Amino acid sequence: MATKDKLSSVSVEAAKPRKKPYKLSDGGGLYLLVNPDGSRWWRLKYRVDGREKLLSLGIYPAKSLKAARKAREDAKEQLAAGIDPSEQRKSDKANRLAARNSTFKSVAMEWFTSRSTKWANSNSEKILGRLENHVFPEIGSDPVSGLSGPRLLEVLRKVQEAGSVDTAHRVRQYMNAIFRYAIQTHRLQANPTPHSEVLPPLTSERFASITDPKGVGALLRAVRAYPGGPVTLTALKLAPLLFVRPGELRAAEWAEFDLDAAEWVIPPVRMKKRRQHIVPLSTQAVVILRELYRLTGSGRYVFPSERSPRRPMSENTLNTALRSMGYTREQMTAHGFRHMASTLLHESRKWRSEVIERQLAHADRNAIRAVYNAAEYLPERVEMMQWWADRLDTLAKANNVVSINAAKKG
């Protein structure tokens, strides 16, 4: 039986507010609720299993009388099909929200937020940067449930073809972790991440390093002749002297340094293992830092970005500088300064291995001791860092390169 309409556009428009809310019925359960503040709301009263329910259909005049009647008829069709309009609306809203929260980017950001509190800031920046540069532009808006192995492989191939097998492997690891998180949060049933074997195997180029004394001397001379900006030049000079991880160096903050005490204390939040690390500064390092302080000391970062002083130097800056100096990825990397120092310090036989490893901030196998050993072997490390700086000065002098084994006798 058709509903007999009672209202007209004129009567709806003419409805004026009163001291109390009142209703203007249109029939079939549809009415206009007129509020004291002048707002007018469409409502639909209906019954399900003998229980009266109410459904909001919108606000007049945004929702016209004709549109409200159409909404009423749609609701009646749902009721005839055994569907409760209110419950259906809730379900549709939940599905829309789930769809928004189930894109690859939304899931990835949830994963990142839940995990990044346990990472060093430099590591967090690197992971997020790789996702933003290589993954989100490709599949960020796609639902995780709709992504397939072949599609993910396309993304990884693009990264690989851009010239970085290492980054492609890293991105694959992030994808794998993100899809595992999607499964754990009930948004996915199977992990589509391609196996690592679909990518070329990683080689030692990631940590390529020069350890031959003659080659080290040539590299140091090339660094000192680097024609680029003073901030990058200073970072290149300090990288072999301090041999911290590249991310720890580039994000260094002036507040962490006590140049009078010749000490750099890196807080746990910036360390890979989330433990405070002390870097004794040689006299050479202090001189270099004091010179740089005149240039960047008014800001937060020791090595600010060229684009914005509010951000640290880009993670690619040092490697790019090495390439401009003629060193390929197979020859030398920013991370390679650590391997250089480790190799030559061990070969000198002047320093105990545990002292060298502690200065490299490598993980202590004794987890309990590791919590308390930020200053472990510190007097010996202070002496070692000065010896190492003097040794680098010797190697940097042309025609004055002697072997490490000969140097240990001095």
Q: What's the CA gap between 28 and 289, in Å, rounded?
A: 81
Q: Is 277 a catalytic residue?
A: no
Q: What's the CA gap between 303 and 235, in Å, rounded?
A: 7
Active-site entry in 335, 350, 358, 391: 335
Q: Is 346 a catalytic residue?
A: no
Nearest alpha carbon to residue 177 among 218, 135, 237: 135
Q: Cβ of 106: how many Cβ atoms within 10 Å?
A: 17
Active-site entry in 187, 338, 358, 391: 338
Active-site entry in 93, 224, 310, 372: 372
Task: Yes or no: say if 370 and 363 are a contact pair by the CB < 8 Å rule.
Answer: yes
Collapse the DSSP code of 379 into the 3-class scheme (helix H, G, I; strand E, B; otherwise coil) and give the result: helix
Element (H, E) at 257: strand 257-258
* CB burial of residue 255 (10 Å; 0-12, 13-18, 19+): exposed
Active-site entry in 245, 250, 329, 391: 245
Q: Is 362 a catalytic residue?
A: yes
What is the chain's percent helix, strand, coil content, to nearest 5? 55, 10, 35
Q: Is 338 a catalytic residue?
A: yes
Nearest alpha carbon to residue 105 among 69, 140, 68, 143: 140
Nearest alpha carbon to residue 112 among 99, 124, 98: 124
Q: Is 335 a catalytic residue?
A: yes
Collapse the DSSP code of 259 into the 3-class scheme (helix H, G, I; strand E, B; otherwise coil) and give the result: coil
Nearest alpha carbon to residue 213 among 19, 401, 45: 401
Active-site entry in 158, 300, 362, 408: 362
Task: Yes or no: say if 284 and 393 are a contact pair by the CB < 8 Å rule.
Answer: yes
Task: Yes or no: say if 182 and 188 are a contact pair by the CB < 8 Å rule.
Answer: yes
Q: What's the CA gap between 306 and 297, in Å, rounded?
A: 15
The single residue listed with the structure tokens 């016209």 is: 64
* CB burial of residue 397 (10 Å; 0-12, 13-18, 19+): exposed
Q: Which residues are catalytic?
A: 245, 272, 335, 338, 362, 372
